[in-house]
Amino acid sequence: MSIHSINHVQLGFAAGQQSQVRHFYSELLGLTEFKAAGGNALRFFAGPQRVDLVPVTDWHGTPAPAHLAFEVQNLPGFRAKLIDAGYELDESRPLGGHLRFYVNDPAGNTLEFLEPDLSQEHTQ
């Protein structure tokens, strides 16, 4: 018996923010939304995993250290798209061997985007 992957992550958002959350995850991040039977959660594929977003009536955001990290290709493209959409990025926490930044989704969930820094492999 072993754990080999994460099936899904579930994040909350303030009830009534469905359109902003849907736009962020589908249009800006390019994740494919899918419908599941029952409930009013928004569900997206992120590769073979899922990101489920559930409306919460009394939403207060997630605690500061909690976050979801996406490993991506073309981090500069994601960076530009989010900046163009008016999102503030936190690029103040470097990680050796990676390019990365953090951003809050419309619900205040912290997301980390990272990509291996291939330019460093060639200089070492």
Domain boundary assignment for the chain: 8-123
User: SS3 for 124?
Assistant: coil
Query: pLDDT value at position 121?
Result: 58
Mean pLDDT value of segment 21-44: 92
Phi then psi for 122, rounded to 5 degrees? -85, -15
- pTM of the predicted model, to two decimals? 0.83
Q: Measured over all CA atoms, what is the biggest interatomic distance in the chain, rounded to whole angstroms?
A: 52
Query: pLDDT value at position 66?
Result: 82
Query: pLDDT value at position 2?
Result: 54
Asked if residue 19 has pLDDT above 90, the reply is yes
| Angle of CA points 57, 85, 47, to nearest 5° | 70
Asked if residue 118 has pLDDT above 90, the reply is no
Q: How confident is the model at residue 122 (pLDDT cuts 50, 70, 90)?
A: low
Q: Which CATH number fits domain 8-123: 3.10.180.10, 3.40.50.300, 3.30.40.10, 3.40.47.10?
A: 3.10.180.10
Query: pLDDT value at position 94?
Result: 85
Query: pLDDT value at position 89?
Result: 96
Asked if residue 98 has pLDDT above 70, the reply is yes
Each residue's pLDDT tens digit, 59-93: 887 777 788 999 899 999 999 999 999 999 999 98
